[in-house]
Each structure stands twice: as structure tokens, then as C-alpha cells.
Amino acid sequence: MPPKPQEMDNERLQRLEDKQALQDLLISYARSCDARDWTSYRTVFTADALIDYTGAMGRRGRRDEIAEWLGEIMGVPSLEYTQHLLANFQVELDGDHAAGRVDYLNPDIFSRDGIRDLLVNGGQYVFEAVRQGPAWRLSALTARILWSAKGEILSPPSA
């Protein structure tokens, strides 16, 4: 017997809600990095999540190990600002599991000896996620830089 229209609507609504929840989860990941909030960073991942930044000149490890390492490398005074911008979300759902990718643009501002430098990386995150109770958590994340550029920092307009 074919599904009733109400059942189909509920399934479609659940898929849309799940995709939005996963997009929000990835945005929380990006914002926690930019805020250097490693407590929040940990909450977007499962406790045993495997995070791989080797394709982005970093390291590979479990959630807590990587959060500690990021705190060290991003906690230096010379790194003034980071901004992780996400686009082109692609998500495949399979029950309580999801996989996908998202493109990122990551400008960083460094300050050394009074000189400010801009480094911009463009790349992709590939991820896996699981539903834990009502919430989604990342169980794996791989970052890969596709390109990098250096640029000039222009002073913001006077107020």
C-alpha cells in the first residue's frame, strides 16, 4: 500500500528539519572556531569524533586532542581575527546518519611587529554526523585547502 499523503509530508518535513539542523551545526562549528570557544567547539562533535586537518596544514586526531591543539595555535596574539564563511552545503541523510560537504572561505588577519597581513584560504569540509537524541553531532570532519592567497589589509573607513 502506498504511503498516505500525511506520512509523506511528515517525512519530507523531517528531512528539511534535519538538513537545517546540520547546516546550523556546521555554522556553530565555524563560529566556535572564530570565537576561539573550545568548549562550544567540543559540543558540535561526538566525544570520539575524528577530525582531520592534515589537508589544511594541520593534524589529525580525536575531538579533545584537536581542540587542545587549536587552542594553542589559534591562541597566539599574532592571530588577530579569523572568519570561517560556509557555502554550498551538500547533505545526504540516511536515518540517524548524515554525510556531506561544505565549501569554506577563511580569511585570517595576522599582526607582527605592527604589520598586519591577510591570509585567505578556500577549501572544503567533508563531514559525517549522527543524531544523538534530538540533536545532530559531527562524528568526522576533514578539512582540505584548495587555494590560498595573501593580501593587503585596508584600514576600515573612519566613523
pLDDT at 113: 87
Q: CA-CA distance, 129 to 72, in Å (whole number)?
A: 26
* Cα separation, 94 vs 91, whole angstroms: 10
Residue 1's pLDDT is: 65
> Which is more confident, 122 or 156?
122
Residue 143: closest CA among 93, 106, 88: 106
Mean pLDDT, the chain, whole residue set: 93
Q: Tens of pLDDT along 105-139?
A: 999 999 988 889 999 999 999 999 999 999 999 99
Q: Give pTM, 2 decimals.
A: 0.90
Identify the pLDDT of residue 157: 56
User: Quick one: 123 exposed, middle or buried, by C-beta within 10 A (0-12, 13-18, 19+)?
Assistant: middle
In this prediction, residues 67-89 reach a mean pLDDT of 95
pLDDT band at 156; cut points 50, 70, 90 = low
Which pLDDT value is given to residue 5?
62
- Model pLDDT, residue 88: 98
57: left (phi over 0), alpha (psi -120 to 50) or beta: left
Question: Which amino acid would we find at residue 99?
Answer: A
Alpha-carbon gap, residue 142 to 41, rounded angstroms? 15
pLDDT over 60 (residue 24): yes
Domains of the chain and CATH, by start: 5-151 (3.10.450.50)
